[in-house]
Amino acid sequence: MAGSDPRPFNVLGKPLRRVDALGKVTGDTRFADDFAMPGMLYLKLSRSTVPHARIAAIDVSRALAVDGVRAVLTGKDFPVPFGILPVSQDEHALCLDKVRFVGDPVAAVVATEELIAEEAAALIGVTYEPLTTIASPEEALRVPEPRIHDYGDGGNVHKAVAFDFGDVPAALASAHLVVEDWFFYQGNTHLALEQHAALAYLGTDERLTIVSSTQTPHYVHRAAAKVLGVPASRIRVIAPPQGGGFGGKTDPFNHEIVAAKAAMITGRPVKIALTREEVFYCHRGRHPVLMHMRTGVDRAGHIVGHSIETLLDGGAYGSYGVASTFYTGALETVTYRIDRYRFRGCRTFTNKPPCGPKRGHGTPQPRFGLEVHIDKICEKLGLDPAQWRIDNALAEGSLTANWLKVRTIGLVPCVEAVVAASGWKERFRKLGRGRGLGIAASSYLCGAGLPIYWNEMPHSGVQLLLDRSGSVTAFCGAAEVGQGSDNVLAALVAEVLGIDILDVKVVTGDTALGPVDLGSYSSRVTLMMGNAAVEAAQRARDRLADAAGLGIPLERIAFGGSRVFDASDPEKGISFAEAVQRAEAKGGTVGTIGSYRPPKAPGHYKGAGVGPSPSYSYSAAVIEVAVEESTGIVRVEKVWIAHDIGRAINPVLVRGQVEGSVYMALGEALMEEQAFRRLPPRLSGALVHQTPSMLEYKSLATLDMPAVETILIENPEPNGPFGAKEVGQGPLLPVPPALANAVYDAVRVRVDEVPITPEKVLAALRSSSARFGPSKFPAVSWPEALIVPPPWEGGDGNAINEPKRRERPERRRAEVAKP
């Protein structure tokens, strides 16, 4: 069903204008804040000005007295907690008894004008009883009390996990060479240009309706029902197209729920549009991660044992953090052959905005470490790092040491492509002082194998409505973030049914108007929604073929050019609309459904739920830099990037995703930092975001963007719709390490830390170690490691030191779904 099609494609692979392009270039596309309603009130949140405190009292009387104020809400209006993961229901829409970071919302004002709401919010008096503040993971490990939350793995540790996939210490002991490294990847944020906004109202359909810039309307739906005590059947969540998400709009947010409650209380539509500063407080961005790696290789450079320890700065709430923690270890094994693998991961709570999933979720940090680590190993062994990646690439169809099943792998062609395009063989280590080339490769998921909450239902569903006119409407809960998922849906349906892409109308991102799709995260939509769409379209095709009455065997019936015809005699046929009419006459209204659920994963140990995916994409990048030795300023001259796309549904959009990933990665690699500032403790207890503004949170503008050459590897993936894989996240991954490796090639210093700022390069240039980066990893009390023998050491996917789980399907859920 999801396989390749021998016929030339009508739609796939063609550089067609995306179906939602018109609204975007006319300004007619309506984003969440573009919705307004008569009688609409404005909501403003009053946020904590202290990083960690008990709330002793809140005085809202002065705010209530302001002319134009309609309601003031506080934490007691929201006693029920919520959170994206079932194991981390640790947020309140407004803080109940304590605040956990500067920016945590404590009260809300609803007024006739936003300015009035803001003026009134400033009059709310909150009395705080300050608590000790935790600013870093090291501090969180050192200071178990007071606890930021009263759950987790003890003290201020949110989650700690430990796995041994084979005996790594033994492997290292017998290795030809063991290399040890420490890396740090700074936190950064999504900075989607659209600030989060929500409009809530009581619909004439008796539904509490929330229009919100969310990547996950389904999860907002669930959280709103839980917190507000309204039956889910009477809540409708609409996710209009978003002005970028990148993972920053995948959690249910406090402002959405407060707006909904405010609409319930006032009986009026209520709008909130966050300021940029508030978006920095929503965050859920890249976790700062400290890493410690030890790797043993044989004489040829083959990895006999690899160990990684990660320490994540989680911020003040759980968010996706448990999954993020697992992801700092889960995909370490899917690029190169690794005989034995040891992973330890720990996430701590700190008094800062919560971290969560950003493009690449939990994997860019260890990918940075691993790819720089390999560069060093190759240097020590005298191997070409590009050739090493080819020689050590995982074989297709592999089962990895941690029991991930990997099907198609485009890693080698990706490396070969960027090596050829960049002139690597002639230029690496030969460009002279100040100029350098670096390479790195990577892999990413095409959707998480398990849902966020345990259930047996599909991850994505598509319904088709075929109209007599020949127009087809495709309904799906998927959210269009800007990545082009609406276009994927239309293209796949149009391809299967042989009609013009504009004859497919898509209805997405509305919980009342389409089957559930879990959301636009983990690069899951193209593959999962795509497979559901293909299934639904195939079923429609079957119905039309059956009713077409062409008097030929079904297998000869072809669809194309908005016609249904005899493949052996194309003149013989009817229009697509006519075929719909015949099908409708024969069997009634023509509607079909398709749904998708990923295949079961082979690993069964506790924690095996994070990492499996129906498919993995691969990427490789070569970057050329010029490094100014007097200042440490790095200029990126060019990026060559190849991505294993499986099949490009639309090459223009694919190019945009690849280049956008490169852009975002360069920002992370060079300058973006979600950094915090603590004032001198004797004078102040303040712990604040250093730069919550577009101006001071530095992201690349036009003049900072280098040339990028994009190459696609098309090797159709049997699990993908027409062979397609993801492209939204994977191409980000190789860029930061390729940049670091290029800096080394240019000036022979290692910056083992992201971002690679001029300060760090210059410090490395002036250091006797020719390096900048961390050199220790704090003591963490790891839990007893689960021992899971790799497949080639006689394992069966279970841990040998925990009860077998295979026979107990009710426990075969993701770690993330279970406390």
Residue 472 CB coordination number (10 Å): 25
Between the alpha carbon of residue 255 and those of residues 81, 497, 603, 634, 636, the distances in Å are 14, 42, 38, 40, 39
Between 383 and 636, CB nearer to another protein: 636
Q: How far is residue 291's CA from residue 199's CA, in Å, rounded to a whole number?
A: 41
Query: Residues 153, 157, 159, 165: is their CA dihedral positive or negative?
Result: negative
Least separation in angstroms between residue 689's CB and another protein is 7
Least separation in angstroms between residue 483's CB and another protein is 7
Q: How far is residue 377's CA from residue 386's CA, in Å, rounded to a whole number?
A: 12
Q: How far is residue 270's CA from residue 255's CA, in Å, rounded to a whole number?
A: 11
Between 574 and 700, CB nearer to another protein: 700
Least separation in angstroms between residue 42's CB and another protein is 9
Between 50 and 724, CB nearer to another protein: 50
Residue 296 and residue 713 in contact, taking contact as beta carbons nearer than 8 Å? no
Between 46 and 581, CB nearer to another protein: 46
Between 295 and 657, CB nearer to another protein: 657
In the sheet that holds 157-165, the strands lie side by side as 753-754, 177-185, 289-297, 303-313, 341-348, 157-165, 786-787
Bridging pattern class, strands 569-575 and 563-566: antiparallel
Residue 83 and residue 90 in contact, taking contact as beta carbons nearer than 8 Å? yes
Least separation in angstroms between residue 119's CB and another protein is 8
Q: How far is residue 486's CA from residue 508's CA, in Å, rounded to a whole number?
A: 7
Least separation in angstroms between residue 344's CB and another protein is 30
Between 48 and 363, CB nearer to another protein: 48
Cis preceding-peptide flag for 146 (omega within 30 of 0): yes
Residue 449 backbone dihedrals phi, psi, to 5 degrees: -70, -20
Least separation in angstroms between residue 762's CB and another protein is 6
Between 566 and 659, CB nearer to another protein: 659
Token pair belonging to 755: 């971002």
Which is nearest to 402 in space by CA: 819, 799, 809, 717? Answer: 799
Residue 111 and residue 117 in contact, taking contact as beta carbons nearer than 8 Å? yes
Least separation in angstroms between residue 40's CB and another protein is 10
Q: How far is residue 198's CA from residue 208's CA, in Å, rounded to a whole number?
A: 13
Burial of 810 (0-12, 13-18, 19+ CB in 10 A): exposed
Between 193 and 232, CB nearer to another protein: 193
Least separation in angstroms between residue 342's CB and another protein is 26
Between 93 and 117, CB nearer to another protein: 117
Least separation in angstroms between residue 643's CB and another protein is 8
Least separation in angstroms between residue 680's CB and another protein is 6
C-alpha R_g of the chain: 27
Between 273 and 308, CB nearer to another protein: 273
